[in-house]
């Protein structure tokens, strides 16, 4: 279509427009289909039911289950924090709730499918497994450090309201899934446009030599820089993937790309500001340090073993 109106897609401007239109259509189409399916599954796991399931497990199994349940819940960290606060006020161990808080924005079923469509199944599975490992180990470490006392008192002392399970039929679940598609689409759409726009710029405008000098494999600080750059950004996984796609195409190491994606989704500045209202500075700093260091370790490991993928 672009060529029909006289745009040369092999030149810089035309290639950028082509990248932008193609990726926006691809991501939004996949996003709508995936959110519908995931939301239908999520209708079986409302927060109250999730809390009841988690309360039956102890130790590492509780952290693993919490991280897995995080994969079928909200798509950004700011949406996950209210659920995290509800779980904490319900009396669940703080380490278990933090495993949920880490995995929920970083890893979800939608990101797995979307990552597979862009990077292939190996890298997609690696990203999801790495995110789950960080979520489980991060929650366990917070628990072992005795961070429970650093949760704000108004969270711990909140009344524990029990909601009776309601029999929800097929039609109600379909309606819920449709509502989630519309709601998430409206919320995510601006970030997809921004993410794809940045991706188009990186992919077609910025010289490969410039990007590799900053984030390339020869720079030993590339993983640290990618993690630090990702933290001030606010986007969910769907807005981050186009940027990661463009960086990877320019020769940026796999571990560096994974670190950037994880930092954007798990440690975004707006979500940390929200979390500060629920926990004291000691716990917030511990959370940021554990997740940040884990992300960097993952990044360096995958840069070293990238040849496997």
pLDDT tens, residue by residue, 94-151: 888 888 888 877 777 766 777 787 778 888 888 888 889 999 999 999 989 988 888 8
In whole angstroms, what is the distance from residue 14 CA to residue 6 CA? 10
- Give the mean pLDDT of the chain: 78
What pLDDT score was predicted for residue 180? 75
C-alpha to C-alpha distances, 59 to 55, 124, 128, 210, 258, nearest whole angstrom: 11, 28, 22, 47, 28
What pLDDT score was predicted for residue 162? 44
Angle at 118 between CA 112 and CA 124, to 5 degrees: 35
DSSP-based three-state secondary structure for 18: helix
In whole angstroms, what is the distance from residue 192 CA to residue 242 CA? 8
Decide if 3 is inside a domain.
Answer: no
Q: Is the dihedral of CA 29, 130, 105, 220 positive or negative?
A: negative
DSSP-based three-state secondary structure for 250: coil
Decide if 5 is inside a domain.
Answer: no
In whole angstroms, what is the distance from residue 92 CA to residue 58 CA? 10
Q: What tokens were used for 28?
A: 């939004």
Q: 175 falls in which pLDDT band (50, 70, 90)? A: confident
Residue (of 273, 293, 269, 262) closest to 105 by Cα position: 262
Decide if 1 is inside a domain.
Answer: no
> Taking a C-beta distance cutoff of 8 angstroms, is the pair 211, 252 a contact?
yes
Decide if 189 is inside a domain.
Answer: yes
Q: What percentage of the chain carries pLDDT values higher than 90?
A: 7
Q: Is 173 exposed, middle or buried (0-12, 13-18, 19+ CB in 10 A)?
A: middle
How many structural domains compose the chain? Answer: 1
C-alpha to C-alpha distances, 85 to 76, 152, 153, 267, nearest whole angstrom: 15, 10, 12, 17
pLDDT 10s digits, 176-190: 888 878 877 777 788
> Taking a C-beta distance cutoff of 8 angstroms, is the pair 66, 54 a contact?
yes
In whole angstroms, what is the distance from residue 52 CA to residue 203 CA? 46
pLDDT 10s digits, 3-47: 888 888 777 788 888 888 888 887 778 778 777 877 777 677 666
> Is this structure's pTM higher than 0.85?
no
Decide if 2 is inside a domain.
Answer: no
Q: CA-based Rg of the chain, rounded to a whole angstrom? A: 20
- Mean pLDDT along residues 70-93: 68
Which residue segment(s) compose the domain that 299 sits in?
Answer: 10-159+170-308
Decide if 59 is inside a domain.
Answer: yes
Q: What percentage of the chain carries pLDDT values higher than 70?
A: 81
Residue (of 149, 108, 114) closest to 131 by Cα position: 108
Q: Which residue has the higher pLDDT, 301 or 112?
A: 301
């Amino acid at each position: 279509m672009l060529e029909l109106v006289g745009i040369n897609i092999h030149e810089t401007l035309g290639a950028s427009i082509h990248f932008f239109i193609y990726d926006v259509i691809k991501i939004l189409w996949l996003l709508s289909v995936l959110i519908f399916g995931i939301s239908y599954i999520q209708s079986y796991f409302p927060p109250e039911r999730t809390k009841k399931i988690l309360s039956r497990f102890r130790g590492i199994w509780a952290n693993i289950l919490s991280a897995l349940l995080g994969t079928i819940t909200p798509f950004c960290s700011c949406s996950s924090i209210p659920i995290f606060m509800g779980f904490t006020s319900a009396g669940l161990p703080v380490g278990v709730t933090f495993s949920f808080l880490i995995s929920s924005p970083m890893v979800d079923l939608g990101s797995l499918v979307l990552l597979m469509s862009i990077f292939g199944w190996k890298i997609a599975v690696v990203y999801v497994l790495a995110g789950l490992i960080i979520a489980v180990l991060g929650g366990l470490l917070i628990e072992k450090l005795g961070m429970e006392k650093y949760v704000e008192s108004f969270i711990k002392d909140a009344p524990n309201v029990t909601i009776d399970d309601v029999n929800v039929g097929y039609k109600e679940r379909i309606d819920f899934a449709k509502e989630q598609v519309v709601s998430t689409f409206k919320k995510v759409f601006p970030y997809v446009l921004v993410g794809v726009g940045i991706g188009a710029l990186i992919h077609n405008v910025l010289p490969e030599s410039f990007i590799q000098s900053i984030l390339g494999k020869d720079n030993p600080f590339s993983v640290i820089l990618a993690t630090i750059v990702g933290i001030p950004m606010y986007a969910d996984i769907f807005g981050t993937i186009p940027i990661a796609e463009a960086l990877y195409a320019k020769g940026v190491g796999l571990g560096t790309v994974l670190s950037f994606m994880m930092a954007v989704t798990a440690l975004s500045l707006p979500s940390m500001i929200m979390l500060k209202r629920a926990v004291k500075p000691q716990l917030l700093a511990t959370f940021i340090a554990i997740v940040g260091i884990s992300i960097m370790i993952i990044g360096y490991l995958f840069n070293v073993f990238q040849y496997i993928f």
